[in-house]
Structure 1
Amino acid sequence: MKRGQKAKLVVLREADCSASCPPRATPTVACASGELRVVGSTVFMPAMRAVADEYENASGDARILTEATGSIGGVRRVVEAGANANLIAVSDGKSKAHHDRLHAEKLAIVTFHVVVNSGVGLATLSVDDLRKINNGDHADWSRLRDDKTPLPIRIVSRDQDSGTRDLYEQQVLRTGENVLSSNECLDKDRNPSAPVIRCERQDNAEVIHKISTIPGAIGYADAPSLAEARKAGIVTALTLDGKAFDPDTAVQAGYPFWTVEYLYAKERPGAGSLAVSFMDFARSHALAEVRLAEVGFDPCVTKEGLEVACELR
């Protein structure tokens, strides 16, 4: 499949749909009613909201509430919730701490980019250079580009509840990000002795805004969130070691910065429940596939079968 084609907890009010479904329900959507809260990834939540709207329109009598808490915070809520809490989380990749304790379903492939302010003038960086930027060995772009005009490297990161940050640390840096040293991402106003200029923001929109407006800024975000900024030419998405992601050759290509989006529930939802109906819809219904694909996510389950790359993460 090619790209482009391809929380307050609410107790579930189960309805007996065995006799009949609401008149406006779509026949291909399992009948379920009540309220379900979906929390987690700020990257994925806009797409999840679009899927939830389709489900509400198709199911006839269900309400899906969505809240962008960050992947780690969302999974934590599911872990801490009661057994009957009607709550699921979306997470950028497997939860390192809780995957084996929860019911998990693979949903879609998410590609991420390292991005720089367009004034930096680079199109690629090596992973080794990114690690040297993180540890402070490279503190100025003059060490990495032909233009030797001094330009401080300013790192714009996500906060500690971010699944995107966790993925960047695991798959690219292979270590944690350096110390938080800046409030406004311009200088070391928080920690003058820090080896790097590094600030944090809560969501990708803030990260992209900072990178696009601050000279020398570098950070990371998912591909769909970056689409408009890249089109406007205010940020540059870098290849890593000259490589980009291709879902058809994920292993051979060697591009590290991608993952599979997961759905997590406290335990396997009961048959006929709103949770299982919505999770099945999000993973495999044609309406959901369209909503995910149109914003740039590759669904794991398509009418052709399971996306091979989804088995790799």
Structure 2
Amino acid sequence: MEPHARYTVVGASVLILLGIVAAALVWLLASGNGRDVRHYTLTFTRQSLEGLEANSEVHMKGIRVGSVTRFAFSKKQPGGVDVTVEVDAAAPVRESTRAVVDRNLVTGIATIRLVTLQEDSPLLDRAHATIPEGESQLQQFSQTMSQLAQGADETMKRIRQALSPENQAAFTETLENLRVASRSAGALTARMDATLASIGRGAGALQSTLTLAAGDFHRLADRYDTLGAQAGTDLGEAAAAVRQLSGDVSRLAGRTEDFLGDAGIELRITGQQLRSTADALGTTSKKLGDPRAALFGPSAASLGPGETGR
């Protein structure tokens, strides 16, 4: 009986140990393999989740910081998918952090990349926080390619419009005009060479003329200097002559004044004599106006008291 009792105790002990180990494993798995983790919810509406699976890696700055735990269609945003991830608590997940889906173009396996836009934003450490969706490089590349395609389509439309029959005819005419202009360019170049040669000869002749003119100008300047000296001498002599003439005129004016003074006196005397002569002539004319009185004397009627006739 005793051996059977010992085997029962041993079996029960083993079963208890196995239960403890199993419970520890379950607890470790439920708690993130013994790591301190935080759970975040990511909602994707624009990016495709093709190639993303449970336990897919979550990276931050090239370092694996967590993994995907589950998927579910979003009840808040129609057409969106909620992805729950667990991230190491030491990872600096901030309020400006965005979630981006990266996909390997060769294998097609997708991962989640956490991108922090502002490193000085507060840490996102509250329970069951939500990380907004960002823009992946593939999405940006797709948008860029779409814009390039639109630009290329617009360019092709413009090219087709530029190559319309009317524009082709105008372009052909322009080319023909260019050919004619290129043929005329040789003759024009020859004419320009001849013109430049003529200009060169004219410039040489002008230089010679200027040289001769410079010599003439020097000689003329010397003559003007001599003439200026002579003119200075002549002007001095003329000034002396003018001064002498001024003296003569002054003396003549004095003599004239003296002459005019004497003439004035003589004219006054002559005037007085003429006035006396005129009076005598008046008296004589009165007498001659009555010949009878001049011959026989005045009449008795014209005599005054006490007067007698001749």
TM-score bucket of the superposed structures, by smaller chain: under 0.3
Q: Which has the higher contact order (CA 8 A, sep 6+)?
A: 1
TM-score between the two structures when normalised by the length of structure 1: 0.17
TM-score between the two structures when normalised by the length of structure 2: 0.17
Name the structure with the higher helix share.
Answer: 2
Name the structure with the higher strand share.
Answer: 1
Bigger-Rg structure (1/2): 2
